[in-house]
Amino acid sequence: MRITVNGKLRELICDPLQPLLYLLREELDVTGPKAGCQQGSCGTCTVLVDGEPRRSCLLPSVLADGTEVTTIEGLGDAARLDTLQAAFHHYYGAQCGFCTPGMIMAAHALLERNPSPTRSEIQTALGGHICRCTGYVKILDAIEAVVRGETFDESDRTPHPDPAEHEVAMKGAPA
């Protein structure tokens, strides 16, 4: 199969019914999408497939063949956050952070379709995304800040990690 992930064309041999989430996390080491409920109910695994939000835990890899997949890693990185990522950081829209990649990807897709959504439209776009920490208010505030055109200076951005620090994510771990 041929798939473009975060701008890089990848050619893989995989089980066609293997969920895209598994392919991303275990075969390509793209760990932004999280393995939450693995039944499509929580939204933590949301990625963009050809610009549309999809639950990667439900999407068989064969249906991603020939597509462009964007994950949270494709929006920005620690050195240069995407505007939505910076807004979530600034407005404390992420508590534990587990749901955050899926929320940001859904919000990104919404803003691409509609750059000026109402709070109600934002809530609808995030329907089915479960956050157990924030109560959604700060998440909605962060997205609305982007809609208003707020910008966030470098002091609001997460600094680049110290290269001397060890990576804590383990292959196969849900985090």
Answer with the residue of higher pLDDT: 156 or 111. 111
Write the DSSP symbol of residue 26. I
Q: What is the domain range of residue 24?
A: 2-74
Query: Has residue 160 got a pLDDT over 60?
Result: no
Mean pLDDT (whole number) for 116-140: 92
CATH of the domain at 140: 1.10.150.120
Residue 42's CATH number: 3.10.20.30
58-74: average pLDDT: 97
Q: Does residue 151 form part of some domain? A: yes
Residue 108 confidence (pLDDT) above 50: yes
Higher-pLDDT residue of 113 and 166 is: 113
User: Where does a domain end: 49, 74, 99?
Assistant: 74
Lowest-pLDDT range, 124-128, 159-163, 164-168? 159-163
- Please check whether residue 164 lies inside any domain of the structure: no
Sequence-ordered list of residues with C-beta below 8 angstroms from that of 46, at least 6 positions apart, any chain: 33, 53, 54, 55, 56, 101, 102, 103, 105, 106, 129
pLDDT at position 129 is: 93
What's the Cα-to-Cα distance from 95 to each of 11, 65, 100, 123, 137, rounded to whole Å?
36, 34, 9, 18, 12
Q: Name the strand (E) or helix (H) holding 122.
A: helix 119-125
Rounded-to-integer distance, Cα 25 and Cα 40, Å: 16
- pTM, 2 dp: 0.85
Q: What percent of the chain has pLDDT over 90?
A: 74
Query: 27, 44, 74 — which closes off a domain?
Result: 74
- Check residue 138 and report its DSSP letter: H
* pLDDT surpassing 50 at residue 87: yes
Assigned domain for 7 exists: yes
pLDDT at 76: 87
Q: What are phi and psi of 146, to 5 degrees?
A: -65, -40
The per-residue pLDDT for 156 is 47
Boundary of a domain, candidates 13, 45, 74: 74
Q: For residue 105, give every residue at least 6 positions away whose Cβ sits within 8 Å of its Cβ, in sequence order, or none.
A: 46, 47, 48, 53, 70, 71, 72, 75
Domains held by the chain: number: 2
